[in-house]
Amino acid sequence: MPMQMGFRWYGENNDNITLSDIRQIPGVSTIVWALHDKLPGEVWEPEEIKSVQEQIERYGFNMDVVESVNVHDDIKIGLPSRQKYIDNYIQTIRNLAPFGVKVICYNFMPIFDWTRSDLFHPVGDGSTALFYQKDMIQDDPKSMAAYVMAFTEKYHMSFPGWEPERMAKLDELFEAYKDVTKEKLWENLRYFLERLMPVCRECDIKMAIHPDDPPWDIFGLPRLLVDDAGIDRFLHMVDDPYNCLTLCSGSLNANPANHVAELVRKYSDRIAFAHIRNVKHFENGDFREASHRDADGDTGILEILKAYHDCGFEGYIRPDHGRHLWGEKPGTVRPGYGLYDRALGIMYMLGAWEMMDKF
């Protein structure tokens, strides 16, 4: 089976991009989807999954990849109430299996998902992109959360991992995480996965963890999946073919020391899902996201694609964040998830891939 190209879609009435738009991008087989109105910890019910299935399959796509089923904070913190949330997670896996879902992408970042200081930073050519200014993300989580929340309120858009219900309780969350050291977080991740693995095997669904974005501790919160050593520890800790990676090139390469193509070669048999995102580094540690073209960033997109191709990668792949182009602006586009740059990214990736296939 060749690799399968996916496109992340936020769902009807939740994404300005339609399935009909996506069908016009050549080469896409998989819709990367989720029930975006679910809070972490809730069970995804079969009827709810079925209604998305009907939409997705009507356009000839498969729904093999879910991104994300988010993990409740109590599981990450290791509270006794985690039992209930792990049971719910397992029930969600069981409910997804009959619909043909093969991969669940998730992350294990405390409190925040991806973190940026500017969601629409000018690139210089008229487009905008997500930007991380290191000195703005130091010791004031509240002002950063307030920035993202102001955006979500103004434009009636909420982001997975930035649920307003959770952000309203930031003090409580920080308090709850205060004794969660890196080692405890590793232990809680292991506990969670060990309980899931038998069900994953039975349901033939791979759990594919997304690396931490950015790949370093922020606001004093520990982060685990940040480099080769972290990935190695993770895969050995629960050494099971259903314990896999979503290898996100841009998240990892926000730290220029992470050589993503090498990671692909080293861990290819455990990569279930590839995110391709290009990043431009600045000397002071800031970074900006870039078009998928190799020369536009520093992540080494062609070398990464070559590594996947050499390894005979047969998993799912998708363009990750792109720039906002051609009139895409706050209110009309989800930050990082416009139509045009991701479509261009797909054509670039398929061009490179098909060239490697043929010649």
> Where do contacts with ligand CS2 occur on this chain (CB under 6 A)?
67-68, 105-107, 113-114, 161, 210, 213, 248, 275, 320-321, 336
What tokens appear for 332 in the block? Answer: 């009309």
Q: Which does 105 bind (CB under 5 to 8 A by kind): ligand CS2, Mn ion, none?
A: ligand CS2
Q: Which does 313 bind (CB under 5 to 8 A by kind): Mn ion, ligand CS2, none?
A: none
Q: Are 131 and 117 in contact (CB under 8 A)?
A: yes
Q: Which does 113 bind (CB under 5 to 8 A by kind): Mn ion, ligand CS2, none?
A: ligand CS2
> 340-358 and 301-310 are packed helices; what angle lies between their axes, rounded to 10 degrees?
50
Q: Are 320 and 304 in contact (CB under 8 A)?
A: no
The yes or no reply on residue 212 touching Mn ion (CB under 5 A) is: no
The yes or no reply on residue 193 touching Mn ion (CB under 5 A) is: no
Least distance in angstroms from the C-beta of 102 to ligand CS2: 16
Our CB check for ligand CS2 shows the closer of 56 and 247 to be 247
3-state secondary structure of 105: strand
The yes or no reply on residue 342 touching Mn ion (CB under 5 A) is: no
Tell me the C-alpha distance between 167 and 149, whole Å: 8
What tokens appear for 310 in the block? Answer: 């050499």
Least distance in angstroms from the C-beta of 114 to Mn ion: 8
Q: For ligand CS2, which residue has the nearest CB?
A: 68
Q: Which does 106 bind (CB under 5 to 8 A by kind): Mn ion, ligand CS2, none?
A: ligand CS2
Q: Which does 336 bind (CB under 5 to 8 A by kind): ligand CS2, Mn ion, none?
A: ligand CS2
Question: Using the 8-state DSSP alphabet, how is residue 147 labeled?
Answer: H
Question: Using the 8-state DSSP alphabet, how is residue 99 labeled?
Answer: G
Residues 6+ apart with CB under 8 A from 17: 9, 10, 337, 339
The yes or no reply on residue 248 touching Mn ion (CB under 5 A) is: yes
Phi, psi of 171 (to 5 degrees): -60, -45
Least distance in angstroms from the C-beta of 68 to ligand CS2: 3
Please state whether 279 falls in left (phi above 0), alpha (psi between -120 and 50) or beta: beta
What tokens appear for 2 in the block? Answer: 């060749």
**Considering only residues 260-319, where is the footprint of Mn ion by CB under 5 A?**
275
Our CB check for ligand CS2 shows the closer of 37 and 310 to be 37
Tell me the C-alpha distance between 324 and 50, whole Å: 32
Least distance in angstroms from the C-beta of 158 to ligand CS2: 13
Least distance in angstroms from the C-beta of 288 to Mn ion: 16
3-state secondary structure of 329: coil
The yes or no reply on residue 34 touching Mn ion (CB under 5 A) is: no
Least distance in angstroms from the C-beta of 299 to ligand CS2: 14
Least distance in angstroms from the C-beta of 114 to ligand CS2: 4
Our CB check for ligand CS2 shows the closer of 114 and 313 to be 114
Q: Are 193 and 185 in contact (CB under 8 A)?
A: no
What tokens appear for 221 in the block? Answer: 């919160």
Our CB check for ligand CS2 shows the closer of 248 and 304 to be 248
Q: Which does 273 bind (CB under 5 to 8 A by kind): ligand CS2, Mn ion, none?
A: none
Phi, psi of 138 (to 5 degrees): -115, -80
Q: Are 70 and 61 in contact (CB under 8 A)?
A: no
Least distance in angstroms from the C-beta of 119 to ligand CS2: 11
Our CB check for ligand CS2 shows the closer of 68 and 278 to be 68
DSSP letter string, 36-79? TTPPTTPPPPHHHHHHHHHHHHHTT-EEEEEE--PPPHHHHHT-
What tokens appear for 301 in the block? Answer: 């997109």
The yes or no reply on residue 121 touching Mn ion (CB under 5 A) is: no
The yes or no reply on residue 324 touching Mn ion (CB under 5 A) is: no
The alpha-carbon radius of gyration of the chain (Å, integer) is 19
Our CB check for ligand CS2 shows the closer of 267 and 283 to be 267
Least distance in angstroms from the C-beta of 1 to ligand CS2: 24
Q: Which residues contact Mn ion by CB under 5 A?
A: 248, 275, 320
